Homo-oligomer: A and B are copies of this chain.
């Protein structure tokens, strides 16, 4: 097993320990029990903190859909900003702008604060951070931000995966003290390739077989082949928790645990599916060197600026 430098929750002290969540080290796929809480604090942080019922659902299921979380006005501004970025042909050669395999159509925009001041404010808004800091129990930083476009008719599926598995193996997150917020910019319905989740899967770490190739991220942004769990283990998780579809409309926000198993089918409908994803990590869980032993991923995919975000009052 490879070694990593781990800072334990609640401690500023860093110490060497063995890899708590080994994966892609040539062993068979298996399940490792979660060693951390899901909700690190119930104490309200601000006016957008979550109520008891919400926190209970999130702890049990690993995700929470907040319907109409953003006002119509705020949602319209986010949509307009997105349209401006899509229309900007100059950004398509940037490293943080990913096009569909075999075309020049934009599939993902990464590192949103660099692309847009509006999205930069969104990442630090109370409406997002109050819930995030409450669940993760303290200061957080933005690990990754992106917009995923799943275009009408041609949008490709995403295979099942846990984000934390990648963040652990490729970015050096020691522990599961991280989550994502997905803000819907379009309808997410049963036909346009919505997010499928396995409720309860966040309590089980699925260690994957195989190894991580060099510069895996270049390929994995378009087609994911590594870090995909064994289908027998997936089948077990699905038998236990079934599958749920996260449907909703513009302005809804989905929060999901970093270790939630999720995937999405292709989009054969006439409506694109476009969502913002903001991934946060606790400042008490700073990344060590990647557990796969390879070099760090670029900063647009995995920031290492662990400075605590200061929430902005958004309205």
Chain A interface residues (CB < 8 Å from chain B):
152-153, 157, 159-160, 190-191, 193, 196, 231, 234-235, 238-239, 243, 245, 263-270
Chain B nearest CB, measured from A95 CB (Å) = 29
Assembled-state Cα–Cα distance A140/B245 (Å)? 41
Contact status A190-B238, CB under 8 Å: no
Chain B nearest CB, measured from A265 CB (Å) = 4
Of the candidates A152, A196, A265, the one having the most CB atoms from chain B within 10 angstroms of its own CB is A265
Q: Which residue of the partner chain B has the closest CB to A154? A: B231
Chain B nearest CB, measured from A200 CB (Å) = 15
A153's contact among B196, B231, B264, by CB below 8 Å, is which? Answer: B231
Q: A265-B268, A266-B265, A270-B238 are in contact. Are A231 and B152 (CB under 8 A)?
A: yes
Q: Which residue of the partner chain B has the closest CB to A245? A: B190
Chain B nearest CB, measured from A160 CB (Å) = 7
Give every chain B residue within 8 A of A245 (Cβ-Cβ): 190-191
Chain B nearest CB, measured from A240 CB (Å) = 11
Write 11 A-B pairs (CB below 8 A) sorted by A numbering. A152-B231, A152-B235, A157-B266, A191-B243, A191-B245, A196-B268, A231-B270, A238-B270, A239-B270, A265-B267, A266-B266
Give every chain B residue within 8 A of A191 (Cβ-Cβ): 196, 243, 245, 265
Chain B nearest CB, measured from A47 CB (Å) = 36
Chain B nearest CB, measured from A237 CB (Å) = 9
Q: Which residue of the partner chain B has the closest CB to A153? A: B231
Assembled-state Cα–Cα distance A190/B268 (Å)? 14
Contact status B234-A270, CB under 8 Å: yes
Q: Which residue of the partner chain B has the closest CB to A194? A: B190
Which 10 pairs across A and B sit closest by C-beta, in order of nearness? A235-B270, A238-B270, A265-B265, A191-B243, A153-B231, A265-B266, A263-B268, A266-B266, A190-B190, A265-B268
Give every chain B residue within 8 A of A231 (Cβ-Cβ): 152-153, 270
Q: A152-B235, A231-B152 are in contact. Are A159 and B268 (CB under 8 A)?
A: yes
Of the candidates A159, A190, A266, the one having the most CB atoms from chain B within 10 angstroms of its own CB is A190
Assembled-state Cα–Cα distance A266/B160 (Å)? 13
Chain B nearest CB, measured from A155 CB (Å) = 10
Give every chain B residue within 8 A of A153 (Cβ-Cβ): 231, 234
Assembled-state Cα–Cα distance A269/B198 (Å)? 10
Chain B nearest CB, measured from A268 CB (Å) = 5
Assembled-state Cα–Cα distance A266/B263 (Å)? 12
